Amino acid sequence: MERVVQGPVALEIVEVAEEEGADLIVIGTHGATGIRCLLWGSVAEKVVRVATCLVLTVHCSAPEHARRR
């Protein structure tokens, strides 16, 4: 199934999960920390805070050749 929605990303993910009766949301995270996370937050963190079902976060890291040095 595919669906296109518009709005705040974290809230839309949670809303679609609720509409579909999901038992679990699996979402990737880059593990942002520091000032970047403080200022903008993360979608994964917001989903964890507002979801009414279980949320599994999976740390996703860029391939070695794609990382900034």
Q: Extract the tokens encoding 6.
A: 């518009």
Question: Does 24 have pLDDT greater than 80?
Answer: yes
- Whole-number pLDDT of residue 42: 85
User: pLDDT digits over 34-68, tens only?
Assistant: 666 665 668 988 999 999 999 999 887 766 655 55
User: pLDDT digits over 5-20, tens only?
Assistant: 999 999 999 999 999 9
Q: Check residues 30 and 37 and name the one with the higher pLDDT.
A: 30
Q: What is the mean pLDDT of residues 17-33?
A: 89
CATH superfamily of 9-61: HUPs (3.40.50.620)
> Are 53 and 22 spatial neighbours (Cβ–Cβ below 8 Å)?
yes
In angstroms, the CA 48 to CA 54 distance is 8
- The domain segmentation of the chain, as residue ranges, is 9-61
| CB-count burial class (<10 Å; 0-12, 13-18, 19+) for 46 | middle
Q: What angle do CA 28, 53, 6 make, to 5 degrees?
A: 60
Helix, strand, or coil here: 28? strand
